[in-house]
Amino acid sequence: MLRPDSHIVIIGGTRGLGFAVAESAAAQGARVTITGRDEAQARSRAAQIGGSVTGAACELTDWDSIGALFDGMDRVDHLVLTALDRDHNTIRDFRPDDCARTSLMKTVGYATAVNKALPKFSDDASVVLFSGLSMWRPVPGSTTISMANAGIIGLVNSLAVEIAPVRVNALTPGVVGGTAAVDEADPVRADWYEAMRLRTPAKRLPTPDDIVATTMLLLTCRGINGENIVVDAGMRFA
């Protein structure tokens, strides 16, 4: 459990899994800051959760935006980085500009967020960076995000050593049931999701609750550091 007086910052916390993590943290009594590109939307989403939740703007390709976010904070106990651009990009019809923008956000942006948060980290701070199963199990059009997700693991390895005693871990979700990524998938991806589910030992997809529980474990368990925890119901074995 999070300490009731802890402050957790979730970059990318206005939707999807980040929002689910924010709801759980708020329910545990933590002070939560969620961010999105649009400040008004971030504040609106924070109001939906209520409690000690605030919304703020943060653009992970704008270094000044990241700096301004943390400049206004007194203390950061936990930092969660879930923000993601879903660049559908194949190597046959490769769009380097789109790839560069998404890759910059997911790698340099994540690293910059940790850099800007560093002076505000408490003595027992922790960081969780979201990667993705596409680094090992690519899907049609995942060229960009497969590369970026693999980069997250290298970043975690470096940060765990460089910013100790702050703990740094990665969380790699599989295909998560009940999210827009699945429900709104194109037919090619939808068929792939179903095939993977049927070939998975558990015959089930992980749920948002599974991802939230694992995030909380990584934030609060002092014995886990420099790890990549995969939550995919055995999908990687298919």
CA distances for 73 relative to 15, 27, 32, 56, 89, angstroms: 22, 21, 11, 11, 37
| pLDDT tens per residue across span 120-152 | 999 999 999 999 989 998 888 999 999 999 999
Domains and CATH numbers, the chain: 7-176+207-231 (3.40.50.720)
Tell whether the model's pLDDT for residue 96 goes beyond 80. yes
Higher pLDDT, 18 or 176: 18
With bands split at pLDDT 50, 70 and 90, how would you rate the model's confidence at 190?
A: confident
| pLDDT tens per residue across span 66-80 | 999 999 999 999 999
| pLDDT tens per residue across span 6-61 | 999 999 999 999 999 999 999 999 999 999 999 999 999 999 999 999 999 999 99
So what's the pLDDT on residue 238?
63
